[in-house]
Amino acid sequence: MNISINYEEDLQKNPLYLTLMQKSSLLQEICINNWIFALPRKSSYSEESLKNHEFILSHILSPSEELPKTHFINLIGDEVVINEQSIKMKNDKIHQCVILFEEFYFTKDLQKFKIMCIDMPLNKKFGKRSMSSNSTVKNVQESIEFIHQNCSRQIERKIQNAIKNFNLRMQKVFDYKQLQINIKLLYDYCINIASNRKIKDDQFLFLNVKIAIEYIVMDAVYEKIFDAITIENSEKNIEFNKILRKLSNITLNDLNLSHLPEVTSQVNENINVLRIELLKIDKSKCAFDKLSCIKNVIDIISLYNDNKLTATDELLPMLVYIIIKSNYFYFISTLIFIKEFNLSQILNSEAHSVGSAFVYILTTIEAIIYFIQTNEHMKLEKNQLIKKTITIDDVKCQTDYIDFLFKCIYDNDEVQLEKYLKIPYSVFIKEKTSSSSEPSSSSQNSVSCHPLCACLSCENLKNNSSSINVNLTSQNDMRMLHIAAFYNLPKIVSLLLINDAEIDATNENGFTALHIASMNGHQKVLFLLLHGNANINLPTKDKKTSLILASMYGHEHCVKALIFFSEHTHMAININAQDIEGNTALHYASQCGFLIIVDILLEYQAKATLKNNIGKTPLDYAYNSVIKKRINDAVKYQVEELPVAESEFVFIRKQDLAEIFEDTK
């Protein structure tokens, strides 16, 4: 674990503290002079020392103007040095006291002084020989070692047996509730046998035992219970993961962080470092370990913020960003795990300040998840595809004209769109400039003599007019068809298709309208495009096919539409297409836990053994044991096809057939 759970005690029960409280004149003096009281922790000094007046005086430190700020003189005249984490007597090179925590004391007239709790008396002669440790265990190894030191051999064995028994009994159990109850029983049982009276009397030692047992128990049962959580909550997970995918292209500017340009660019540059730090959450098996991963991410962010302390206003959007970019799909399960399985109840012991810090991180995760859930459309709203305020009067140049046409699509205004589709910009602008003087005079140019007229100029007009504007592109190569597919407007799509829109036109990222419809889950538009003969296997610049996009974003109805359409029209879909990272549709669906899509893909013989560029198969990415099982079952029935060399393929063209036909004649 990365944050240590610090030693803490109630000063009101520390005999030396109480002794000082009784000496009101000394107390007043401390306040007036702003001295520091270094208080050794309760169990570190002997009772005899209390009777020695020197004991208390040696722990009251007064600053001195002649010495550097870190140097103090105690009331018996020794020089004491305070560093970041420790206090020591200047003339004692070896003996060093660790500062455990600090508190403040206020008098009625609001004078105050500082109390520093230290792990042992400044002067060795007041100390006790044997002292219990002041730090907690930080991982499984330390926990096992700790139990070994503090409990008898017999108890150790009992704990081991209890865990072994548990695993045997629970082998066939997959029910979340049952597992949950049994894990809690197991934990309570272990705590019960491990804590003797000596341990229970020492609060801090007892806390340590609780943490150690949590490490040991969780180490044995984590995989099982976490899997059960993801299955139990699969719907919530799927819903959340779809949103994560949807928001995956988000930038920090979308989150109102433009006022911190330096930090945001640093975070952007180091997003991989932050991701790796966050992904440690996957490997941690204890609730507080998981929370400390988030704490570490927060600390790294503040490094980029020039070591200035970062407030919630900045932290929250950055964490939202990192979580969306993390490519980790177990946040909902993680949140439930932390809430339900902090076995040692550290999170609930708010009296201990570390508990409350953890609770704050938990609150933050909860807030972020809620924020992501309620801001699903953030990307859509921030999206700059459409200038929403543009009107026909604003059109001053060709780009404005395109913006205006896009706006017509956005408004789903078929009539307006149909009208302007046929008016080229040059005509439009001429009309507009002259319209003030003599309206509609020049518009005659673009109108045929009579609706049924067939003279040459009219014929020309008819032939050209339909497609005059339909394939115009904006700066980022977006076309009207893309916009209509993006905003899910089937009527407009068919209007554009009738007007000869180029169906497989790509935008700057190589997306066709079909890609956009698949990615956004617009099934009607998808069907229209497929019926309009869109190329079903075309890849984007990242080599993602429509099927990959639909699977990646969790749109099962689009996956079905693509596969069924291909089945019924002999337009063979490449179900095993791999994108630039080598991932197939099955990789993406398996990774996010989209069970229905996994099932469809497997039914249509998606290969479960294909490796991506880093050698991972869909099975390696399986979200939980249910998906793992489906894929495993499919693998058994999928017969390994023999590789066919390309030269063995024979392409038969129409002419070839004709020749053969003629030959036989």
Partner 1 sequence: MLSDGTSTNYTFKIVLLGEGKVGKTSIIMRFVHDQFNKQHQQTIQAAFLNKKINFEYDDNRQVRCSLNICDTAGQEIFHSLGPIYYRGSNGAILVYDISNQDSFEKIKMWIKELKKVVGDDIACVIVGNKIDLVKDGKIQYDISPHLEYAKSQNALHFLTSAKHNENIDELFLEISKQMIKAHDEKQTANATLNRSNSMRRRLRVEDENTQNDESGVNTQSGNSSRCCGI
- Return the residue of 370, 394, 426, 476 that touches partner 1, per CB under 8 A: 370
Per CB under 8 A, 263 contacts partner 1? no
Please choose, out of 143-151, 219-227, 373-381, 553-561, the segment that lies near partner 1 by the rule CB under 8 A: 373-381
Dist CA 349 CA 414 (whole Å): 63
Closest contact distance (angstroms) between CB of 175 and partner 1 is 19
Per CB under 8 A, 118 contacts partner 1? no
SS3 456: helix
- Return the residue of 60, 115, 209, 287 that touches partner 1, per CB under 8 A: 115
Q: What Cα–Cα distance (Å) separates residue 132 from each residue in 86, 295, 557, 636?
A: 18, 28, 63, 57
Please choose, out of 100-108, 438-446, 534-542, 650-658, the segment that lies near partner 1 by the rule CB under 8 A: 100-108
How many Cα atoms sit within 13 Å of 430 on the Cβ side?
12
SS3 257: coil
Q: Look-up: residue for tokens 């859509």?
A: 380
Please choose, out of 111-119, 438-446, 563-571, 578-586, the segment that lies near partner 1 by the rule CB under 8 A: 111-119
Closest contact distance (angstroms) between CB of 189 and partner 1 is 26
Structure tokens at 416: 């307006």
Per CB under 8 A, 6 contacts partner 1? yes
Q: Phi/psi at 659 (nearest 5 deg)?
A: -60, -50
Report the residue number, 368 or 421, with the smaller CB distance to partner 1.
368
Per CB under 8 A, 367 contacts partner 1? yes
Closest contact distance (angstroms) between CB of 335 and partner 1 is 6
How far is C-alpha 78 from the geometric centre of its chain's CA atoms?
54
Per CB under 8 A, 369 contacts partner 1? yes
Structure tokens at 136: 């907690």
Q: How many CB atoms lie within 10 A of CB 174?
A: 15
E strand or H helix at 74: strand 71-74
Per CB under 8 A, 295 contacts partner 1? yes
Report the residue number, 351 or 645, with the smaller CB distance to partner 1.
351
SS3 471: coil
Per CB under 8 A, 415 contacts partner 1? no
Please choose, out of 220-228, 359-367, 595-603, 609-617, the segment that lies near partner 1 by the rule CB under 8 A: 359-367
- The closest of 84, 92, 83, 35 to 59, measured between CA atoms, is 35
- Return the residue of 30, 39, 80, 100 that touches partner 1, per CB under 8 A: 100
SS3 82: strand
In sign, the C-alpha dihedral spanning 130, 134, 137, 141 is negative
Please choose, out of 101-109, 169-177, 274-282, 589-597, the segment that lies near partner 1 by the rule CB under 8 A: 101-109
Of residues 487-526, which lie at the interface with partner 1 (CB under 8 A)?
none
Closest contact distance (angstroms) between CB of 327 and partner 1 is 20
Q: Look-up: residue for tokens 């993602």?
A: 544
Q: How many CB atoms lie within 10 A of CB 623?
A: 25
Beta bridge mates, 113: 105
Count of residues in contact with partner 1, rule CB under 8 A: 63
One-letter amino acid at 509 equals: N
Closest contact distance (angstroms) between CB of 140 and partner 1 is 24
Per CB under 8 A, 174 contacts partner 1? no
Q: How many CB atoms lie within 10 A of CB 163?
A: 18
Per CB under 8 A, 240 contacts partner 1? yes
Closest contact distance (angstroms) between CB of 401 and partner 1 is 34
Helices 523-531 & 556-569, crossing angle to 10 degrees? 20
- Return the residue of 46, 50, 79, 101 that touches partner 1, per CB under 8 A: 101
Per CB under 8 A, 309 contacts partner 1? yes
Structure tokens at 524: 């009607």
Report the residue number, 22 or 463, with the smaller CB distance to partner 1.
22
E strand or H helix at 103: strand 97-106
Q: Which residues bind partner 1 (CB under 8 A)?
A: 6, 10-12, 21, 82, 84-85, 99-108, 110, 112, 114-116, 236, 240, 255-256, 295, 298-299, 302, 309-313, 315-317, 332, 335-336, 339, 349-354, 356-357, 360-361, 363-364, 366-367, 369-371, 373-375
